Amino acid sequence: MADAPMDLLIRNGLVLTMDRDRSMIPDGAVAVRNGRIAAVGGRTAVGAGGAAREIDAGGGIIMPGLVNTHTHAAMTLFRGLADDVPLMSWLNDYIFPAEASLDHRKVYAGALLACAEMIMSGTTTFCDMYLFEGSVARAAQTAGMRAVVGEVLFDFPSPHCGAWEQGLVYTEKLIDTFRGDPLITIAVEPHSPYLCAPELLQRAFELASRHQVPMVVHLAETEAEVQTVRERYGRTPVEHLEVLGVLASNVLACHCVMLTGDDIQRLKRRGVNVSHNPESNMKLASGIAPVPELLAAGVCVGLGTDGAASNNNLDLFLEMDTAAKLHKVHRLDPTTMDAATVLRMATIDGARALGLDRHIGSLEPGKQADIILIDTQKPHWTPLYHPESQLVYAAKGSDVATVIINGRVIMEKGRIQTFDVQKAMDEANAVARQIEDKR
């Protein structure tokens, strides 16, 4: 380490690596060079060579940034618009009509607002499914966030692309545009088995496979979806996708609430990854996903917030707390979904679900430097016996003090450095007034 100074040295904190061994390093440090983690270890050893810039963690926690595996970022524009209604009514009577007036400018405004909310609560990577996704990618670039984004595809014409065939053309253009981008990954994203015909699902999977990118799909979210797919095809939604040949290790299945035991084995056999969205599923009364059973079967499960219109926040610390407690009370077992498991879902397993675990999700030399610093000098952090438990059961998004993405300081001491948050809020409010005027 003494042969060349680092670009950045983060010191004076408990380093929570989230590596295979769940290594924790008291009085630790992380060194960064060229956007990557160069060294992790004790403060004196790692800092021996010096650095162009140092950040004092103030005795707090130094850990990987959180990974939100499923959201609809620009739906921050609809936060609180349609609460306390069933999913199908929520979609058909409120959300779809509001979305009909969206355009690139409005989606950019909503997505940038979402980036602010996620950065300020410790999320460094998000996976997005929505309309006008080129604008979501631009918002992520402005914010300096890492993102997996894809244009949602339906059987019916979308407000952006029209027919789904044009949606696939647009998606392929996005893949070409952002190929090799250090922060943006494009995914192919058919909405769900009940809103996508078999041909659309197969064409989407073929496109994703040809370009070696993820395919993201809502799957088995509600009883109504399962009933609809059974009536049409005589199969469960998971079985339907398997018969179509579109289940594989590059597929991220979101929600997965209504699964049979056979469905779980199918997901495991095909290497499919799952995004668990407990708060949205609770709010829409969709049900409780069998996450303990998925984990026991060896399925990789990440954690997601879903959109701000059905949550109504994008804070993964709150989502971790909910995920752990929901499954405990559902199974009447306090040992279910322990803190270490849930924390992995929000970090390294979330990265794995997105196919990014070789690059992010843990603090290990060679990985991209996506790092957050937690301020633990607060009453609700005192005393601190078990850091993993405290992060899941006591931490708040507002405890995040500093955010580093790809080696770049994005937020320091609670202030975002890459864009004007107040301006982003003002622009989102302006769009909200337009939406309200049309109701």
Res. 1: pLDDT tops 70: no
DSSP string, 105-141: HHHHHHHHHHHHHHHHTTEEEEEEEESSHHHHHHHHH
Res. 191: pLDDT tops 70: yes
The two structure tokens encoding residue 165? 């065939």
DSSP string, 349-408: HHHHHTT-TTTSSS--TTSB--EEEE---SGGG-S-S-HHHHHHHT--GGGEEEEEETTE
- The helix/strand/coil state of 91 is helix
- The string of pLDDT tens digits covering residues 147-164 is 999 999 999 999 999 999
Average pLDDT across the chain, whole number = 96
Supply the angle between the helices 133-143 and 104-120 in degrees, to the nearest 10. 40
Let me know: does 348 contact 361? Beta carbons within 8 Å: yes
Q: What is the mean pLDDT of residues 47-68?
A: 93
User: Cα(264)–Cα(292) distance, rounded to whole angstroms?
Assistant: 11
- The string of pLDDT tens digits covering residues 386-437 is 999 999 999 999 999 999 999 999 999 999 999 999 999 999 999 999 988 7
Place of tokens 């679900």: 353
Q: What is the mean pLDDT of residues 252-281?
A: 98
**Cβ-proximal residues to 399 (8 Å cutoff; 6+ apart), any chain:** 317, 374, 375, 376, 378, 381
User: Cα(405)–Cα(145) distance, rounded to whole angstroms?
Assistant: 7
Place of tokens 């929520």: 90
CA distance from start to end of the chain: 61
- What is the model's pLDDT at position 305? 98
User: Cα(217)–Cα(235) distance, rounded to whole angstroms?
Assistant: 17
Q: Which residues pair with 219 in a beta bridge?
A: 255
Res. 4: pLDDT tops 70: no
151-167 b/e (C-beta count within 10 Å ≥ 16 → b): bbbbeeebebbeebeeb
**Cβ-proximal residues to 165 (8 Å cutoff; 6+ apart), any chain:** none
Give the Cβ contact number of residue 408 at 10 Å.
Answer: 17
Which DSSP state fits 34?
T
Ordered domains of the chain (ranges, CATH): 6-64+368-416 (2.30.40.10), 66-353 (3.20.20.140)
Res. 186: pLDDT tops 60: yes
- What is the model's pLDDT at position 92? 86
User: Cα(226)–Cα(228) distance, rounded to whole angstroms?
Assistant: 5
Q: Which of 125, 70, 111, 58 is nearest to 405 (CA)?
A: 125
Per-residue pLDDT band at 48 (split at 50, 70, 90): low
- The string of pLDDT tens digits covering residues 234-245 is 999 999 999 999
- What is the model's pLDDT at position 95? 87
